Amino acid sequence: MLPSRWSDPAISELRATILVLAIGTGLCVVLAAMGWPGAPNHCLLEGDCYCEAPRPGPIAQPANTWSLLGFGIAGIWVAWRSGRDRASARSPFLRGRLYPGLYASALAFMGPGAALFHASLTDWGGAVDVLSMLGWVCFLLYYNLTSLYGWSQSRFLTAYVATIAIAITPRLLFGPAGVPLFALLLLAWFATEALIGRPAGTLGIRQPVERRRRYFWAFIAINLLALFTWTGSHAGGWLCDPSSLLQGHALWHVLNAAAAALLYPYLRSERIDPEHAAQQGVADGPATARLN
């Protein structure tokens, strides 16, 4: 029997996130034991799998694989923190368990999702890597649309699941369109970020959303640093040493995990004038409460 604390509803996000990590890690272990079946990734043919030279054994790229633990730690932290914060904060993001639970799980899944690529260097592993990134960016895009336009939870979930279902088709995910699709959704998310803080009526905004932008700018700053390391971590790059256990792409993973974790306090800081929400008839949307 599980301890009573483990069954506490207050840690439901933590349970869900740990379950996602357990499934993802278990999949990695099983497929590694099978010798990573599947066609090799195109990066092997091109001679540039993010610099680190493939090694014999179950983990082809140790540095680029183990550095992905940062995403699991970040997801667990978000899940644990959201459970603690709910009791004292009136943040719309924390009104229910769907949004923090899904964000924590999507963040955590980027760890084993990318590990399936870096440990195996298979074609399908690269597809799962892209899929994990799509799950993260889709959350950010559709949550912003939910906040700005008063979407219901069911509409949010429909858009989220439909996008993932379309993206998972072999033609998109296993073809060259996977990464461009991620880039397109990322740009769409940034476009919605430009609407945060704008008055109602701007581009059809139903309710003005305010957040503590310093967390968002910290996210951008860390990602710019991460991008700087990523550009030098390809074959021939200034950070590239294929035989080294210290890899620039591994640092890219760690920085991205830290930046993504910073989006939790950013989303948690969301607030809206409750009087405006009542006037607009969107009291059931996610952004209907002012922070304490």
| Three-state SS sequence of 152-215 | CHHHHHHHHHHHHHHHCCHHHHCCCCHHHHHHHHHHHHHHHHCCCCCCCCHHHCCCCCECCHHH
Q: What is the pLDDT of residues 44-101, one digit of tens each?
A: 988 889 999 999 999 999 999 999 999 999 999 999 999 889 877 678 899 888 999 9
pLDDT value of residue 102? 97
User: The domain containing residue 269 runs over which residues?
Assistant: 10-280
Whether the per-residue pLDDT at 278 is higher than 60: the answer is: no
> Which residues, at least 6 apart from 197, have a Cβ–Cβ distance to it below 8 Å?
208, 209, 210, 211, 213
Is residue 186 a part of any domain in this protein? yes
Is residue 193 a part of any domain in this protein? yes
Is residue 287 a part of any domain in this protein? no
Domain count, the chain: 1
Is residue 5 a part of any domain in this protein? no
Is residue 25 a part of any domain in this protein? yes
Question: What average pLDDT score do residues 7-22 get?
Answer: 82
Is residue 270 a part of any domain in this protein? yes
Is residue 4 a part of any domain in this protein? no
Whether pTM > 0.85 for this model: the answer is yes
To the nearest whole number, what is the mean pLDDT of the chain?
87
Answer positive or negative: Cα dihedral of 65, 30, 121, 168: negative
Question: What average pLDDT score do residues 236-257 get?
Answer: 93
